[in-house]
Amino acid sequence: MNLAVREMTLAETRLVIDYFAGATPEYLDMMGVDPTKLMPPDQWRARLETEFTLPDEKRQLFIVIWLLDNRPVGYSSCDKITFGERANMHLHVTVPELRGKGIGTECVRRSAEIYFRRFRLKQLFCQPHALNVPAHRTLQAAGFKYVKTYMTVPGPINFHQPVTQWVIDPSQ
């Protein structure tokens, strides 16, 4: 598999906006996303434009694109970034027929390496909806360690839900 993982350009963030705009309510529900909390595409684009101008120390959102044979097949974002300390990541293979083929595991591994280097992290977390089995198996296969399962509202676009939290902490 000819995979590449690199920082997403502003123009490429269209992939992210279209992915959420085109998602069914059932799909969003599986990811713990409340459709009424999603920003309208124009607002989201403006927010990304601002974010992309910030220095790394101030970034609150950073995105990497996953390419298979130079074609976009997914992405990962990280948010809740505290430079030099910690961040929280997300993972998406955006082409449904390419899921379950090992792309997620390899790209999560490479995305995590980019986040650690770029933001000089000590810890990287990820906490998908507790029932999202493929996400949990992928995180474990990519080297994350189980932390806990608990109820929370994990982010601004999510509803209250059980999540399972995973971490990479090289000091442990």
The reply on whether position 154 binds ligand COA by CB under 6 A is: no
Taking a C-beta distance cutoff of 8 angstroms, is the pair 124, 86 a contact?
yes
Task: Pull the structure tokens for residue 108.
Answer: 């999560």
CA atoms within 13 A on the CB side of 31: 18
Name which of 60 and 105 has its Cβ closer to ligand COA: 105
Query: Which residues in 40-79 contact ligand COA (CB under 6 A)?
Result: none
d(CA 154, CA 166): 13
Look at residue 148 and give its three-state secondary structure: strand
Report if residue 91 touches ligand COA, rule: CB under 6 A.
yes
Inter-residue contact 164 to 127 (CB < 8 Å)? yes
Candidate ranges 1-9, 60-68, 130-138, 164-172; the one touching ligand COA (CB under 6 A): 130-138
Q: Tell me which residue has tokens 């293979």.
A: 93
Nearest-CB residue for ligand COA: 104
Residue choice 92, 111, 167, 168 for contact with ligand COA (CB under 6 A): 92
Angle at the Cα of 21 from the Cα atoms of 50 and 7, rounded to 5 degrees: 45
Q: What is the DSSP string of 76-124?
A: EEEEEEETTTEEEE--EE-SGGGTTSSHHHHHHHHHHHHHHHHTT-SEE
We find the least distance from the C-beta atom of residue 102 to ligand COA, in angstroms, to be 5
**Does residue 158 touch ligand COA according to CB under 6 A?**
no
Q: Which is nearer to ligand COA, 37 or 120 (CB)?
A: 37
When asked if residue 133 is in the footprint of ligand COA (CB under 6 A), the reply is yes
Q: Closer to ligand COA at the Cβ: 72 or 134?
A: 134
Residues binding ligand COA (CB under 6 A): 31, 90-93, 99-105, 128, 132-135, 137-138, 141
